Amino acid sequence: MSSTPSSFFHQPQQQVLDDTSGQSPSYSQDSNSPPQHTFESLESTGTSIRYSPSGRTDVENPSLGLYTAQASYPYSLRKRRPCCTKDEDLFPITAATADETPQPTMKKFKLECLSPGEARKNFSIEEETTVRVEPKIENIECDNEDDHINRLPDELLLKVFSFLPDKSLLACSTVSYRFNQVANSQEVWKELYLSLYDYRIPLFHPSHAKFEFRELNRWKENNPWKESHRQLHHGVHVTKEPRTNCRAVNFRCFDQIEKAQSFLEEDEYREKLIFLHTGVHEPIDTILINTDVQIIGASDSRDITSSVVLEGSRNTALTFTDGSANAYFGFITVRFRADPISRQQQPQIAQQAQQMNHFYSILVTDKDAMPYIERCDITSKVGNGAAVCVKKSAAPKFKYCTVLDCENVGIYITDNATGHYEHCEIARNTLAGVWVKNHANPYFRKCTIHSGKDVGVFTFEHGQGYFERCNIHSNRISGIEVKNSANPVVIRCEVHHGYTGGIYVHERGRGQFMENRIYANAYAGIWITSHSDPTIRKNEIFTGQQGGVYIFGEGRGLIEQNNIYGNALAGIQIRSQSDPIVRLNKIHNGLHGGIYVHEKGRGLIEENEVYANTLAGIWVTTGSSPILRKNRIHSGKQVGVYFYDQGHGLLEENDIFNHLYSGVQIRTGSNPKITRNKIWGGQNGGVLVYNGGKGCLEDNEIFDNAMAGVWIKTDSEPTLRRNKIYDGRDGGVCIFNRGRGVLEDNEIFRNAQAGVLISTESNPVLRRNKVFDGKSAGIEITNGATATLEENQLFRNKYGGLCVATGVHPVSRNNHIFDNHDTISRAIKSGQCLYKVSSNNSFPMHNFFRCVTCNTTERNAICINCIKCCHRGHEIELVRYDRFFCDCGAGTLERQCNLQGVPRDNDTVYDSATPISTETGTDA
């Protein structure tokens, strides 16, 4: 005779599974293991086998009767279709009859009897597939005067059923329709559930190591409390105080975790599930887990984790070793505190013992240790060790845990260990929040690591790791520190508000830092030093209280495709023989400069966009020699590229434009090579070489600058070769104040002032240049200067090809001067004031005079036509042949000019404007 299962064991028709699991709620077993007593096996088997912790049958242990109906009743059980209600209960209902012969299970009966529990004498098979009954049990009247049970109101039945254990409730649910409704009500099962598990919300446990508290409206079953109990009833309980009157037949309760473990180990077929209830549990020694046991906190508190505490005091509180591959530990606070008695009695011995041994709240060790640790609060109150230690190739999974307020390291991962750490908070630890060393390679995702008294994440001694979308902030030292050949990957994290720097890579550290946001740190966003070689790619580095990226002490690295802006000091600083690659970055809107290379710094700086910085776009100083290639350097508030104090290097194929000062400045012994650049739109000229500056400028295009294309002054001596200098709003090349240098094979054309102006004791060499189409003279030499002019071509210039002031004697060889426009001679012949020709913006070279009668000085020049007309009959004096405009025509003299229709009031002495040198100091 077959045994029909109770409703408690029937597999529901609609099963809610965890989103990440496609498994059945039953627990899988090995094909070679004995038959496991599961819900499915009890339904499918043809014999009466009930569950026993020891694996015995009903015959061997007749006291058990929860999981079979036949063992305790003299009746056979047959399936009977339930009377459907609005709730559509998914579990089938069985009814007891006096008929010993099993009946067909699919027959449908008419409801003709007055008592729902009475067996039918006459039945007929209906064509319909369902039987409709009234869902309200109050509407079923009973004329049987002896049926007192059915006369009881629902409130009393609920009260009676509230005292029944789960086995009795299941049995009552098979008696009648009304009993089924009451015995399966949520009120009854919720009260039973709370008395066993203490949870305010039913716990969903679809498969091994998967737990989720689900609100009632998220369950597909009509009675979530009953379904949750069905999933959890295999578990045993650990409580601080023994529990009595438990409403579960199979309830097992222990006062220690070790005893619960021993009980579960005796039955290899039972699900290993332990409920650790409210209180502080203090094991004598470490809790050793080497099986796939599941331990979960249980409390009626809204914060279950804080209410259930596992505390170690003499040894590590909890240890996972080989065999714990599928173990689960969740919703529990784990902490380690040194034994207070031993500390008080023998403080020195206790301190020495702590120095010799390392203590942990949780230790995960050995290759096959892969537990799942979820929603735990972990802390340690000793100074030697860590809250969590993972080592020897262990690979745990930590999720939604906190590691807070430890007096040592938060999480320590070493010796090839790995593991997943997700959605964890690691904060306020005395030492590093996370240590990774000795080839360990953990995966941290969406963790918050903050407010530590040391480093946030410390990888060293070949440590690795993958850190993704973590929030690392407010740590006293760096957010992330990498040293001793460590090589982590940090991607899409936020590293900010560190009390020192953001990321510190040193002592041959490596690592890949990609797509992070690094901001608002007190020192540099990223430090790279002492032969370290990280990759910094596609990060956003901004608003640091010092620099963006700081590379020093022979640091290297690839700095690529980053957005660096708004930092208080340089966006990138390279010093002390460091040699990084800086490529494809945007460095802009800094409160200081863009890139600062100093103290023999080197580096390849190419294809970057450097713009809108407060000081120079790029500085090169103190023996540094970088390569700057194909960069766009523009819109700066001072200089574009600034070489000073022995700054050298190669400036090649860059586009340098629209700076408030010069595009390039070279001074104080600097000697860069500047080739194939475009330098334009400077408000203070294109290139300024001064104070002993040198440099070689070759094949550049220098155009459309507000002042001279190239300035050379104050003992500077650059070489200009094969450049095109054109369309300047001032002169092409201006050399003055003892400026020297060599100008070879350049094309200088269409400039507003002289193509080349040589003044004030300067002495350059000009060889094979073409100076043409100028709006003033081709070459002007004045004010005590001289020059060597060889094989130059001067043509189509407005005021003449070569103009030499009084007292100037240049060396001239084989120059070709032709087709120039002698505008000044024609103006003199026509009797015009020369101010009409020059206004106050150009300075044609010709004779200028002073009027002794009008008491003018050498600073007030008068042209020859004004002398003849306006100062006729006056005592006059020839000053010299030089470049000037007429002050009489400009209206700066007391006597009105007769040759000007509109007199001007202008007492300013005009000359070529002096370029502005940068205010940036060498110690910036």
Domain ranges of the chain: 154-233, 662-821, 834-883
Does residue 514 sit in helix, strand or coil? Answer: strand
Query: 116, 177 in Cβ contact below 8 A?
Result: yes
DSSP secondary structure string for all residues of 520-573: --SS-SEEEETT---EEES-EEE--SS-SEEEESS---EEES-EEES-SS-SEE
- Averaged pLDDT for residues 526-543: 97
What pLDDT is recorded for position 149?
77
What pLDDT is recorded for position 830?
87
Does residue 333 sit in helix, strand or coil? Answer: strand
Q: How far apart are CA 781 and CA 762, in angstroms?
A: 9
The answer, yes or no, to whether residue 354 has pLDDT greater than 50, is no
Estimate the crossing angle of helix 224-232 against helix 186-197, to 10 degrees: 40
The separation between CA 568 and the C-alpha centre of its own chain, rounded to angstroms, equals 21
Helix (H) or strand (E) holding 837: helix 835-838
Helix (H) or strand (E) holding 453: none
Q: Which residues make Cβ contacts (< 8 Å) with residue 426, sequence separation at least 6?
A: 402, 403, 404, 410, 411, 433, 434, 447, 448, 449, 450, 452
Phi then psi for 524, rounded to 5 degrees?
-65, 150
Query: 753, 778 in Cβ contact below 8 A?
Result: no
- Averaged pLDDT for residues 806-832: 91
Does residue 277 sit in helix, strand or coil? Answer: strand
Average of per-residue pLDDT values in the chain: 83
What pLDDT is recorded for position 840?
59
Q: What is the dihedral sign for C-alpha 653, 654, 658, 661?
A: negative
Task: Give the angle 583-588-594 at the CA atoms, nearest 5°.
Answer: 70
Q: What is the pTM of this model?
A: 0.79
Under the banding of pLDDT at 50, 70 and 90, the label for residue 151 is confident
Phi then psi for 171, rounded to 5 degrees?
-65, -45
Q: 10 Å Cβ neighbour count for 784? A: 12
The answer, yes or no, to whether residue 70 has pLDDT greater than 90, is no
Under the banding of pLDDT at 50, 70 and 90, the label for residue 494 is very high
The answer, yes or no, to whether residue 84 has pLDDT greater than 70, is no
Topology given in CATH for the domain delimited by 662-821: Pectate Lyase C-like (2.160.20)
The separation between CA 830 and the C-alpha centre of its own chain, rounded to angstroms, equals 76
158 against 7, higher pLDDT = 158
Helix (H) or strand (E) holding 694: none
Under the banding of pLDDT at 50, 70 and 90, the label for residue 916 is low
- Averaged pLDDT for residues 181-209: 94
Quick one: how many helices (H) and strands (E) in the chain? 14, 76
pLDDT above 90: percentage of residues in the chain = 65
537-549 tens-digit pLDDT: 999 999 999 999 9
